[in-house]
Amino acid sequence: MQAVCSPVAVQTVSKRDERQGLICAISHATKKTVRSIVLGGRSLSYECVRKKIKNVNIRIRPDGSLSVSAPNAVPYYRIEEILRLRQDFILRAMDNALAREREKLASYACDEGARIPLLGKEYTLRIADRGTSRIEGDILILSLRKTEDPEKRKEALKRFAEKTLADYVTAEFAKIHPLFSPAAPMPSLKLRVMRARWGSCRPKTAVITLNTRLAFYPTAYIDYVIMHEFTHFLHGNHSSAFWDALAERMPDWAERRKALNASPMAEWV
């Protein structure tokens, strides 16, 4: 099950550029290369991917990195000429992406007093150097040795989020499984951080994998993802039969999915 990803800045060099002499026919066997270029006095690296396409496409990824996809026939010096022609767009888009990335990192910092959502409830974060990580009332206490290390705080939060999510999902599996029995076995649960998926199901091995980041969403959204993946034990694709089977067991699945995908990716871990 796919999650909604952040958009990237894109520019395309079209047939008009070819007519202006920006593209010439030279064959290249290399499919993927990392190269360097100076734009506006700044030394940058970019990834060039060769594809069976007609135009040169320039992309600025959400992390601010530069990517180019180009036809096999376009030589590197022409690609870099195009990059220089588009340098104002590229540098502006990179700066904007990096600014958004800094804001995102700041908003997800595990600082004392931060408000951390877990299973639909918000908790105030406290950092401790003794005891175990736990919830006391509306306080989330993360216990770790290196309390001043931001990465160690993230690791501690990830461990606590995984346990919290695993405990909740395991109980939900027990509730949901009878709705699919005997066609579906009781699946094993795996958790991992994923950038573009909420979950996946492997019917042959009876394994459901969920995105660890679901721990930071309301349980109604988590329940939808669980039900979605369980339905794949009945139908391996997203045919009309799949959606009918899902609707039979969760009539409001569409509203839940819409709300989940409308939420920004919770990148606490």
Q: Please give the pLDDT value at position 27.
A: 32
Across 235-245, average pLDDT: 96
With a cut of 80, say whether residue 105 has pLDDT above it: no
Query: What is the value of pTM for the model shown?
Result: 0.68
The answer to whether 164 and 118 are in contact (CB under 8 A) is: yes
* pLDDT tens readout for residues 139-197: 999 999 999 898 999 999 999 999 999 999 999 999 999 999 998 999 999 999 998 89
Tell me the two tokens of residue 261.
Answer: 């995908």
Q: Please give the pLDDT value at position 18.
A: 41
Q: Please give the pLDDT value at position 25.
A: 30
Q: Other C-beta atoms within 10 Å of 226: how many? A: 26
With a cut of 50, say whether residue 15 has pLDDT above it: no
The percent of residues in the chain predicted with pLDDT above 70, rounded, is: 87
The answer to whether 126 and 140 are in contact (CB under 8 A) is: yes
* pLDDT tens readout for residues 24-76: 332 334 488 999 999 999 999 999 999 999 999 999 998 899 999 999 999 99
Domains, the chain, ordered by start: 9-107 (no CATH), 115-262 (3.30.2010.10)
| pLDDT-based confidence at residue 9 (cuts at 50, 70, 90) | low
Q: Please give the pLDDT value at position 62.
A: 84
Tell me the two tokens of residue 76.
Answer: 């590197």
Q: If you average pLDDT over every residue of the chain, what do you get? A: 88
| pLDDT-based confidence at residue 5 (cuts at 50, 70, 90) | very low
